[in-house]
Amino acid sequence: MADDWLITKVAVAQLCATPDVSENLATIEQLVKHACGEGAAVVLVPEAFAFLGPEKVKRTILEHLPVEPHAAGGPILERCRALARSQRCDLVLGGFHEDADDAHKCYNTCVHIGPDGAIRAKYRKIHLFDVSLSDGTQLRESACTLAGDTLVTTQMPFGTLGLSVCYDLRFPYLFQGLVDQGAIALTVPSAFTATTGPAHWHVMLRARAIECQSYVLAPAQHGHNWGKRYSYGHSLIIDPWGEIIAECDDGDGVAIAEIDPARVRQVREELPSLCHRRSLE
């Protein structure tokens, strides 16, 4: 680990996004400003932060992500860039509805915007949420979303952050791969369902932290988003020993904690399980 990494205050935001883009972005602005006012240098917001609603409506708000870091984008991206610049923070957009030049599908993309407004990293969600639950919930993300195929990390003041989105949480090898690329913290921005959340959310997030010996930063949607869609909430920050060090209550809000690279180093030295991995192929 680099010696110049810094203890950094980070925040995970929690909101209930709806089909109202303007209202969602106004809420995000309030939450980010509050977090930065409390000293956060890095703020992470949930999957689908700008819109959760009917697919036909989502098609109307899709935006391309520019190739060049400072090139102009659409109104949602530019509003988020202005927010990062005004608050001088690293802002991670947990799930951006990225236009894919496809008549029926888009990408679900996690985007890191730096304090200067530049796009620092883009990760397209690899694992798509196709499920039929016993309570009647049926979701087919693959019907409207294209899967990514590349692991992505990005640099933060505290060191390397590994990017993921929601359903990726259920695939430990993805996070092991991010650790192999140097990650000491992992983000899991989500819109976890109210059905799966009570049984799986805390358990799996703590497991990823323990097995990867990394911080886990999990901003989440909460509440009734639209129609029959309800999200679980409980945005979390977990340390590399698996302890929950910050958690959102019900409703909109932020959870804030410090990321200490020395804590990661300590855990990995005292219990060197990452060094004990073996290939069984």
Residue 33 burial (CB count, 10 A): 15
**Domain contains 73:** yes
List, for residues 182-227, the tens digit of each pLDDT value.
Answer: 999 999 999 999 999 999 999 999 999 999 999 999 999 999 999 9
Candidates 81, 173, 84; CA nearest to 127 is 173
In sequence order, the 6+-apart residues with CB closer than 8 A to the CB of 250 are: 222, 233
Residue 14 burial (CB count, 10 A): 28
pLDDT of residue 3: 65
**Domain contains 281:** no
pLDDT over 90 at 256, yes or no: yes
**Domain contains 1:** no
**Domain contains 258:** yes
Task: Describe the crossing of helices 21-37 and 75-87 by its angle, rounded to 10 degrees.
Answer: 10
Domain residues for 72? 9-274
pLDDT over 90 at 119, yes or no: yes
List, for residues 78-107, the tens digit of each pLDDT value.
Answer: 999 999 999 999 999 999 999 998 989 999
**Domain contains 280:** no
Q: Report the chain's mean pLDDT, rounded to a whole number.
A: 96
**Domain contains 126:** yes
How far apart CA 243 and CA 214 sit, in angstroms, is 11
**Average pLDDT value for residue range 27-37:** 98
Q: Please give the C-alpha separations between residue 239 and each of 58, 173, 174, in angstroms, as whole numbers.
A: 35, 19, 19
**Domain contains 104:** yes
Amino acid at 41: A
List, for residues 149-177, the tens digit of each pLDDT value.
Answer: 999 999 999 999 999 999 999 999 999 99
pLDDT of residue 208: 98
User: Which of the four pLDDT bands, split at 50, 70 and 90, describes residue 281?
Assistant: confident
Q: What percent of the chain clears pLDDT 70, i.e. is strictly above it? A: 98
pLDDT over 90 at 279, yes or no: no
As for how many domains the chain has, the answer is 1
**Average pLDDT value for residue range 249-273:** 97
pLDDT: which is higher, 3 or 244:
244
**Domain contains 279:** no
pLDDT of residue 134: 72
Which CATH number covers residue 48? 3.60.110.10
How far apart CA 190 and CA 80 sit, in angstroms, is 18
* Given 125, 247, 248, 258, the catalytic residue: 125
Q: Give the DSSP H/E element, type plus range, for residue 203.
A: helix 197-212
pLDDT over 80 at 1, yes or no: no
List, for residues 123-148, the tens digit of each pLDDT value.
Answer: 999 999 887 777 766 778 899 999 99
pLDDT of residue 63: 98
| 166 carries an active-site annotation | yes
b/e map 171-181, b = 16+ CB within 10 Å: eeebbbebbee
* Given 9, 16, 36, 47, the catalytic residue: 47
| 125 carries an active-site annotation | yes
Could you tell me the pTM of the whole model? 0.96
* Given 36, 166, 212, 248, the catalytic residue: 166
Whether 3 and 224 have beta carbons less than 8 Å apart is answered as no
For 222, phi then psi, to 5°, come to: -135, 160
pLDDT over 90 at 4, yes or no: no
| 47 carries an active-site annotation | yes
